[in-house]
Structure 1
Amino acid sequence: MKGSKKDIMWRIYIVYFVVFAMGASIIGRIFYIQTFEDEKWETMAKEQSIKRVKIESSRGNIYSDDYSLLATSIPLFDIYWDGKVIAPDTFYRKINKLSQQFANIFPDETPISFKQRMQLAYSSGRRYYKIRTKVEYSQLKKIKSLPIFNMGQFKGGLIVEEYSVRKRPYKDLAMRTIGIYNTFLKKYDVGLEGAYNNYLKGEDGIKIVQRTTGGWKTSNIVDNTIREPKNGFDIITNININIQDVAESSLHRVLEEHQADWGCAVLMEVKTGAIKAIVNLNHDTTNHIYYEGFNHAIGTASTPGSTFKLATILVALEDDKVKFDQVIHTGGGRISYNGSKMIDAKTGGYGDLTVKQVFEHSSNVGVFKIALSSYEKNPQQFIDGLYALGINKPLGVEIKGERAPFIKDTHHKSWSKMSLPWMSIGYELTMTPLQILTLYNSIANNGVMVKPLFVKEIRNANEVIKSYKTVVINSQVASKRVIKEAREMCEGVVTEGTATLLKNSPYTMAGKTGTAQIYTGNYDNNSYIASFVGYFPADNPKYSCIVVVYNPRKGLYYAAQVAVPVFKDIADKIYASELNIQEKVKDDSIFEIPSSKVGIGREVAGIYSKLGFVDKSFAPLEDKWINASKKDSAIVKTERIIKDGLVPDVTNMNTRDAVFLLEQMGLKVSISGRGKVVEQSIAPGQSIIKGSKISLKLNDK
């Protein structure tokens, strides 16, 4: 019995000893950690609850040639709240007033709803409670003045997180050239946004954020910014907003009228290569609308057709294979060669034509005979002449996606006996609209071929970081004699040939029509590309322009019917706005005082002043919205009254002014059509409910 009791006691002692030893070990370990490893474990704890995140830099702006905004980054703010930092008596004393004033800023939430969720967040001890997202700067200023929130982050719990979104004030205008964000690749990779991304993007900063019960938030450490962000540089383009708008409106109208697949138009400054307008419109067959999509001017290489005849005749004239006034026998407008037939558009043919007239009337048979008589025995000489023009290589524009031209030589696997005659009239080869325009621009520029230039300079505020000067691709595409003859041919197309629609203008124009069958494995005689490329004024060229309409479907497909009207609209706009482009109008007696759209007084006065009508009575109205109209020989001015809180009358305004005015008054604007405002969905004089949607109908007629 005693032995058994003794054994039990020994076991108890052993258990006590083990427990004591373990306790002592734990206490010793705690003492060691606190004494010798305190800094190590504190660092690890911080690493688990604190991390570094980027502070987004502000992306640079993209401007037009007159510094109008084409793309900008608008700051938006997400608002959160830390309910742990505010005392209960302060919270409950001020919550009612806060709720009422918050609802005044954001009418879509009632004071009761806001109060209930704030009380729930407070009672739950939320440290990162979402108040509102996508808050504009004007709204943020009001939020910061509200009760509780005006106490700041550490006393009132207000947490503001800023980010930016990219906006284009002119919506889809030149959208593809400006560039868009690729949500799949998560970067800007097209247009000017992509080409100049390294300048625009700036450099992100770094800040410390801390884990809370509501997620990660800006740390309360006094210095939580490790590196400040550096904002991006601004890009100043050569694009002119007014010309761009006219080009897009005119092209849009023609595409709709003819139900074409797509169309593009490009305007270039002759001497510098500056691109003043570039439009690319694609047909959405599902929604039956046209939109700025793929950049066809740069990225689509197609059969140029008759516009390529200039290159053929340039080479033949330069090689002295034909003379400018040499007669070509086109006969009845039909010719057979190696089993293939070539015909002219005119039934019965043109008979005998000089080389100049062959070009003016776009005779396929005439160009065919020139090429065959000149290069049948040595077709590679013809190809070498084309290459000497510099048209067989990409232009090397900064915007991504340029398609290389395809102009094959005699060693190419697809070369045949028919390649020479077909290539001479613009088939069996491909070029982009911008590449064709660059060739014609060189003729207007006395033989100097320059690279298309989209950007004028890069700026950091008022400091010019980089300027872009004219780049010469080919200092002389042909001799001065041949260039002079080429310009005579291009002028003859307008005065005597296929583009006589342009000849009754107060200024001179020159160029070439092109109507080519579309190649889809075979050439389709039911589908066409209509184009016109030229320059103006013909006697002293300032601008060159190309218009391409792809697959018009309403029966009319010749370039003179489809592409030439768009060219004329663009040229007329420039002529009307740049009076120094022409020294004297042909007949001053036909000029009348025009009526204006509704606009700011000083701007309307400036337009009339440029037209030669100086009227000092504009002065008292220079900051007012006015409408000016003609009456006899005078300008009658009517003020358009704008009252706070009431919907204004925006009819007869241009799109930019109407949208600006309505959005400034708190309305959301949607637009249909193009041109000036002819209808508005909310009648003038009604009380404004901020955030309401107003629809505007436009018409350019």
Structure 2
Amino acid sequence: MGQARKPKGIPLCTWRHILMLCVISFAFVGVLARAAYLQIYETSRLSSEADKRSVRIQGIDTRRGVIVDRNGVELARSIPVESLWIDPKTILKTPSTLHSVSWKQLANALKMTEGELKRFVQERKDKRFVWLQRQLHPELAKFIHRLDIDGVYLQKEQRRYYPTAEITSHVVGFTGIDANGLEGVEKAYNDLLIGEPGKEKVIVDLHRNVIENKGVVDDAKQGESIALSMDSRIQALAYRELKAAVLRHGARAGSLVIVDIDTGEVLAMVNQPSYNPNRKDQRQPQLTRNRAVTDMFEPGSTAKPFTVLTALEKDIVKPGTLISTGPGKMRVGNHWVRDGVNHGTVTVTKILQKSSNVGVSKLALALDDNSFLDTFYRLGFGLDTGSGFPGESSGRFNVRPNWSKFEKATMAYGYGFQVTPLQLAQAYAVIGSGGIKRPVSFLKLDKPISEERIFSKSATQKVLAMMETVVNEGGTATDAALESYRTAGKTGTARKAVKGGYGDEYLSFFAGISPVSDPKIAMVVMIDEPEGDVYYGGDVAAPVYSNVAEKALRLLNIVPDKIEQIVEAKDSKVVNRG
């Protein structure tokens, strides 16, 4: 046998091997060169394209400021909620979504049929953002989140909440769905409360979830909180008593205002009917308007103290000056001025105590026109109070150039011009302050904004003493008397003006000041159209004043001044017996 042939060895390097190595090398160098080119020369363009797809500028929410009363009790605050929005284009990319169980559950949760929800989406097929429902209930938001439907999203928002509801609604007001103030203090101080939203740069994924925060672009400015002059304890008390009076007398409406005489702050302001600002279905114009600052009325006999004050200022009469009011009526031009009864010859004090139209008309006619009108102008009638409250009326005080004596006489007892309850309360605060006028404020103050003496202290103190007789025995407002505090005030009962004259409906008022020894509050109570035979201010409005003022003064920690009278009376009896 021959020897076996030795197999040839495999060559280590062939042309094919060399060719493959060259191809791989050239490919690697090409990729490396391309990568280097992109990294060095195309960085800006590629970063820009990437940013367009993933980087977003989104807002930084700012929380609306809290509104509190003068004691720090919260009256309005913002609470976190979620709102529902959809991307119709994303939803319609997957037609099966519209027939899924989750879609049916979503429709049921929103109280819609599947067909209604489907049509809603299809009608907006080209849009990328559509609100479906705002400010969801927390449990509903959780349920929708669990459904996890592509194209259906939740967004965090804020909703305004009012803990005291209808008690403070007319002063605090309310905001709209986008947290802008629409009524009351919320509207008046909207720019202060709302703040300024900020901006931040973020990176989002395919589903628009934030995966990285790239920093703040603009800092958010949080809304400032404000403290109102209102005392929520007194406000609640006033609300309860006014509502009870309106219901008891079957009245159409009512208003009550309390002003701090020393500062001009509004301590309480309530209206009937009221509304709950937390419920959108109750925000109707006839309920939401603040009647105490928007509605005008002829003040009736509550204007008589101003005529008496002018007569005292001009030194035409003194409190004890006798004036003949008999026989209970007086002809002025072609018209008659009448009293309910013939009071005969009485003092100026009695004119106020008995509310004599004839007596106060004679005082007005004895004054020159400029002096008479100047009093009303200085009190601010015909001008708003400067409170800044939205929709505040300036009243109506327009005197014809050639006005008649009868018009002048009727103005003396509150006809022929119109005021708001707030204006009247401010005017009575002037009497209580000894002739000093202070601007009205709905914000808490440490001291008055400004002060202006418009009447002498002597004259206003005399009028205050005369008004005290109205509340005491023999006056027209004995039901306004307080148990522990001396009170001065004036009743008013005015016919409501209708086309062509006056109708059979009445407005009943009581305006008062307490305590007389050191006046702290001025209050106006107005009841609109009380039903039945009881419609006089002394019967309808005066009891409301008594119930509110007694408790309000105690809440304000004011020392009772009737106790001093009782002690003095007892001491006098002991001396007499001795």
- Asked if these proteins are the same fold (TM beyond 0.5), I'd say yes
In structure 1, give the amino acid aligned to 2:387: V
Decide which structure has the larger Cα Rg and report it: 2
How far has the Cα of 1:530 moved from its partner?
Answer: 0.8
Determine the C-alpha separation between the residues in 2 that align with 1:580 and 1:35. Answer: 81
CA distance in 1: counterparts of 2:134 and 2:371, whole angstroms: 68
User: 1:139/1:585 Cα in 2 relative to 1: closer, same or farther (>3 Å)?
Assistant: farther
Report the Cα offset of residue 211 of structure 1. Answer: 8.2
**Is 1:480 aligned with 2:457?**
yes
TM superposition score normalised by structure 2: 0.73
- Give the direction of change, closer, same or farther, for the CA distance of 1:68–1:388 in structure 2 (3 Å limit): closer
CA distance in 2: counterparts of 1:264 and 1:334, whole angstroms: 32
Which of 152, 173, 176 is the matching residue for 1:179? Answer: 173
Q: Please point out which of 191, 195, 216 is paired with 2:184.
A: 191
Q: What residue number does 1:339 align with?
A: 334
Match of 2:59 in 1: 54
Shift of residue 261 of structure 1?
Answer: 2.0
In structure 2, the partner of 1:406 is 396
Map Cα deviations across residues 501-530 of structure 1 (whole Å, 9 max, x no partner).
233623211111111111233442411111
Amino acid at match of 1:242: R
1:240 deviates by 1.2
1:383 and 2:378 matched: no
Q: For residue 563 of structure 1, report the CA deviation from its aligned partner.
A: 0.8
The match for 2:362 is 369
What is the DSSP-based 3-state SS (H/G/I as helix, E as strand, rest coil) of the residue aligned with 1:420? helix
CA distance in 2, matches of 1:57, 1:282: 34
Shift of residue 448 of structure 1? Answer: 1.2
Shift of 1:291: 8.9
Which amino acid letter does the alignment assign opposite residue 232 of structure 1? G
* 1:125-136 alignment, distance < 5 Å: none
Cα deviations by residue, 1:328-356 (Å, 9 ceiling, x for unpaired): 1111322222221221123xx21111111
CA distance in 2, matches of 1:133, 1:199: 25
Give the alignment partner of residue 78 of structure 2, picking from 73, 78, 85.
73
Q: Structure 1 CA distance, aligned partners of 2:361 and 2:377?
A: 19
Retained in 1: the 8 A contact 2:326–2:343?
A: yes
In structure 2, relative to structure 1, the CA distance for the partners of 1:525 and 1:224 (3 Å cut) is same
Deviation by residue 1:118-144 (Cα, 9 ceiling, x = unmatched)? xxxxxxxxxx9x9x9967899999x99
Offset at residue 186 of structure 1 (A): 7.3
Q: Deviation string for 1:158-194 (max 9, x for gaps)?
A: x9843211000111121121121246x9731431112
Could you report, residue by residue, the CA deviation over 1:33-74 in whole angstroms, capped at 9, with x for unpaired residues?
Answer: 999777447636744775534333100100011111100011
Q: Do the aligned partners of residues 139 and 190 (structure 1) sit closer, same or farther apart at CA in structure 2, a change above 3 Å counting?
A: closer
Matched residue type, 1:438: Q
Cα-to-partner distance string for 1:57-115 (whole Å, 9 max, x where unaligned) = 1001000111111000112246999xxxxxxxxxxxxxxxxxxxxxxxxxx99xxxxxx
Give 1:191-590 correspondences, 5 Å limit.
191-208=184-201, 217-223=208-214, 225-282=216-273, 293-346=288-341, 349-372=342-365, 374-375=366-367, 378-411=368-401, 415-456=403-444, 469-473=447-451, 475-495=452-472, 496-503=474-481, 505-578=483-556, 580-582=558-560, 585=563
Residues 283 and 237 from structure 1, CA distance in 2 versus in 1: closer, same or farther, beyond 3 angstroms? closer
- Give the partner amino acid of 2:268: A
Deviation track 1:637-663 (CA, whole Å, cap 9, x = no partner) reads xxxxxxxxxxxxxxxxxxxxxxxxxxx
Which range moves more in the overlay, 38-47 or 249-258?
38-47
Residue identity opposite 2:174 in structure 1: I
Deviations 1:12-36 (A, max 9, x none): xxxxxxxxxxxxxxxxxxxx99997
Rounded to whole Å, the distance in 2 between the matches of 1:342 and 1:585 is 41
TM-aligned CA distance change 1:352 to 1:583, over 3 Å: closer
> SS of 1:222's equivalent?
strand
Cα drift, residue 231 of structure 1:
1.4
Q: Is the 8 A contact 2:517 2:561 kept in 1?
A: no
By relative contact order (CA 8 Å, sep 6+), the higher-ranking structure is 2
Letter in 2 for 1:164: Q
The separation in 2 between residues aligned to 1:187 and 1:402, in whole angstroms, is 20
Q: Deviations over 1:571-626 (max 9, x none)?
A: 122244455421675899xxxxxxxxxxxxxxxxxxxxxxxxxxxxxxxxxxxxxx
Compared with structure 1, are the counterparts of its residues 313 and 211 closer, same or farther at alpha carbon in structure 2 (3 Å cutoff)? same
The secondary structure found in structure 2 opposite 1:220 is strand
Q: Give the drift of 1:483.
A: 1.3
Paired letter, 1:386 = F
- Structure 2 contact 264–448 (Cα < 8 Å) conserved: yes
The amino acid that maps onto 1:244 is Q
Q: Distance in 2 between matches of 1:435 and 1:135?
A: 42
- Indicate how the Cα distance of structure 1 residues 210 and 300 shifts in structure 2: closer, same or farther if over 3 A, else same: farther
- Counterpart position of 1:101: none
Q: Distance in 1 between matches of 2:333 and 2:83?
A: 73
Q: Flag the 1:218–1:416 CA change in 2: closer, same or farther, 3 A.
A: farther
CA-atom RMSD in angstroms: 4.2
1:460-510: per-residue Cα shift (whole Å, max 9, x none)? xxxxxxx6631235x323222211211111101111311012336232111
* Pair 135,226 (structure 1): closer, same or farther in 2 beyond 3 Å: farther
One-letter amino acid matched to 2:316: K
Report the AA paired with residue 70 of structure 1: L
Please say if residues 190 and 399 of structure 1, whose CA atoms lie closer than 8 Å, have aligned partners that are also in contact. no
* Partner SS, residue 565 of structure 1: helix
> Is the CA contact 2:310–2:371 (under 8 Å) kept in the aligned structure 1?
no
Structure 2 contact 303–414 (Cα < 8 Å) conserved: yes
Question: How big is each residue's C-alpha offset from its partner over 1:423-453, in whole Å with a ceiling of 9 and x where there is no partner?
Answer: 1111111111111111111111111111222
Question: How many equivalent residue pairs?
Answer: 483
The answer to whether the 8 A contact 1:506-1:586 is kept is no
Distance (whole Å) between structure 2 residues aligned to residue 290 and residue 501 of structure 1: 34
Q: CA deviation at 1:195?
A: 1.6
CA contact (8 A) 1:174 1:292 kept: no
**Residue type of the partner of 1:510?**
A
Verify the 8 A CA contact 2:484 2:561 in the aligned structure 1.
no
DSSP 3-state at the match of 1:582: coil
Q: Distance in 2 between matches of 1:385 and 1:405?
A: 16
Q: Please state how far the C-alpha of 1:219 moved relative to its aligned partner.
A: 3.6
CA distance 1:43–1:356, shift in 2 (3 Å): same
Q: Is the contact between residue 203 and residue 213 of structure 2 (CA under 8 Å) also seen in structure 1? A: no
Q: Normalising by structure 1, report the TM-score.
A: 0.61
The one-letter code of the counterpart of 1:350 is H
Which residue identity is paired with 1:503?
A
1:541/1:504 Cα in 2 relative to 1: closer, same or farther (>3 Å)?
A: closer
Partners of 1:359 and 1:493 within 8 A in 2: yes
CA contact (8 A) 1:255 1:549 kept: yes
Q: Give 1:535 deviation, angstroms.
A: 1.2
CA contact (8 A) 2:477 2:539 kept: no
Gap change, CA 1:402 and 1:468, over 3 Å in 2: farther
Looking at structure 2, the residues matched to 273 and 242 of structure 1 have their Cα atoms a distance apart, in angstroms, of 18
